Amino acid sequence: MIDLHSHILPGIDDGARTLDIALEMAQQAVTCGISHMVCTPHIHRGYFDNSQSSIEAAFNSFKEHVKRELIPLSLSFAAEVRVNELIPIWYKNGELPFLGKYDGKNVLLLEMPHSHIPQGLDVLIKWLLRNNIQPLIAHPERNRELIAENQKFNWLQRQGCLFQATAGAFVGRFGDKVEEFAFRLLEERAFHVVASDTHDLVRRPNDMQAAYEVVASYDYTYAKKAFVETPSVIIALERKHAS
């Protein structure tokens, strides 16, 4: 499996606190059947003020440690970028880390607040698409406004977004309401990829294997597409960053 969303880089956001934990997370990913993981720390203005250069430095250091420990996991890096008004400026300055490409567009892992759909999101999405950037919305099943008003997900679909569901949502890690909404999206084949969004070993571990079994029992072909095939397409041109 290919894991497109993880907070494994140590000490850079609210993910792995130490190198030792990050290395254990890498081993946990391998145990879960993951062959490639994209390291996607937050870029969240005022909270996690990471940049492409700071992420790359942390990534290069971590990659060397993974090699040294002989952990059979290839890695690349991008970021989970919180919606904000500076995204067009970051793009023009070459400071947006992309996951890879999909259908000829650069893929940006875009995070909404958990509480609501931010005002002006449709304007940002249109700008991104005009500039050959494909927004991949992270964990829509955990957005409280979407949970309360499911029809707004259909509005987001019409804007032209792709969607990344979280593995833990299918095994009850985020509670009944999130699980229920995740399964509704599964019934509608509405998400494009599933990723771990792993942050640690216990509270937010890598649930990819368990989630794959759940989704595959529902629709094996769709599971292969969401856990393996579409993520593989996205990262194919980004292997220059990989170990």
Which of 18-25's residues contact partners 24+ apart within 8 Å by CB, and which partners? Answer: 19/62, 19/65, 21/200, 21/201, 22/62, 22/65, 23/65, 23/66, 23/69, 23/71, 24/201, 25/198, 25/200, 25/201, 25/205, 25/206
**How many domains does one find in the chain?**
1
What are the phi and psi torsion angles at 106 (to 5°)?
Answer: -70, 135
Range of the domain at 53: 2-241
* Percentage of residues in the chain having pLDDT higher than 70: 97
- Please name the helix (run of DSSP H) or strand (run of DSSP E) that holds residue 161, with its range, or none: none
Confidence grade of residue 239 (pLDDT, cut at 50, 70, 90): very low
Mean pLDDT of 235-241: 59
pLDDT in tens, 182-237: 999 999 999 999 999 999 999 999 999 999 999 999 999 999 999 999 999 999 84
pLDDT in tens, 96-131: 999 999 999 999 999 999 999 999 999 999 999 999
Helix (H, G, I), strand (E, B) or coil at 50: coil
CATH number for the domain harbouring residue 193: 3.20.20.140
> 4 with 197: CB under 8 angstroms?
no
Average pLDDT, the chain: 96
pLDDT in tens, 54-65: 999 999 999 999
Mean pLDDT of 47-55: 94
* Percentage of residues in the chain having pLDDT higher than 90: 96
| pTM across the whole model | 0.95
Please name the residue that has the structure tokens 């880390």: 97
Report pLDDT for 241.
46
22/52 Cα distance (integer angstroms): 20
Mean pLDDT of 8-16: 97
Closest CA to 141 of 173, 113, 169: 169
User: Distance of alpha carbon 192 from its chain centroid, rounded?
Assistant: 11
16/39 Cα distance (integer angstroms): 11
Report pLDDT for 189.
97
